[in-house]
Structure 1
């Protein structure tokens, strides 16, 4: 398999080589940074919801950072859906940063300046997209 030239994709590729499942790491970090988020997940069956939510978010991130074929539209759509759940927009946007922080921790020294710049730009664009809704 050829490594991606897209820094966001590459960061996920590197993370996938080192970590089988980002889900528990992402949610542990989310709940540490935003304890109020824990109450938004029901106790029973929430692991499947968390895994599915993270997978859809990663797909949207990869599309937003890449070809923008349509999956990235899920970000705006889900921002509106999460409004209905009572999720503050700041928390919704913070989830993307939590993912970036988790990937950064996993790939450690392979987190390059190029990857960091790409993530910072992406997070800014996502924040702008959500704010414009």
Structure 2
């Protein structure tokens, strides 16, 4: 698959042309939808943690939606890690939808049915991947 023309990658590229940093937008949405998550990031250096977590998430999303060369495996590793922190699996998976919804809002009229369908498939696939035994 040519990932350069993949709707998931396209959504990130379009958003990047409108917004230099997705991090504050993603976390604002996360904290509005799931206020309990804000307490998870109250330590010193949390801005770096948020940016790093989002960057790794985006890298995993792009690999999972594309060629699956290995970065997508980070999803399984982070599920185990977040389980150890006591983060509910449902909350971990919900973060991917928060990313999608943030992109959708940023893209506004550039959010196409093709992009929407690709994201719907991706979120369903990530959910199934997360539910599969290790």
Q: TM-score by structure 1 length?
A: 0.96
Any gaps of 5 or more consecutive residues in structure 1? Answer: none
Q: Distance in 1 between matches of 2:4 and 2:111?
A: 14
Q: Does 1:51 align with 2:51?
A: yes
User: Aligned Cα RMSD in Å?
Assistant: 1.1
Off by >6 Å, runs of 4+ in structure 1: none
- 1:132 shift after superposition: 1.6
The residue number in structure 2 matching 1:119 is 119
Q: Distance in 1 between matches of 2:90 and 2:37?
A: 12
Any gaps of 5 or more consecutive residues in structure 2? Answer: none
- 1:42 shift after superposition: 2.9
Q: Distance in 1 between matches of 2:4 and 2:11?
A: 9
Alignment of 1:13-32 (within 5 A): 13-32=13-32
Structure 1 stretch 37-46 or stretch 15-24: which is displaced more? 37-46
Alignment of 1:1-133 (within 5 A): 4-133=4-133
- 1:5 shift after superposition: 1.2
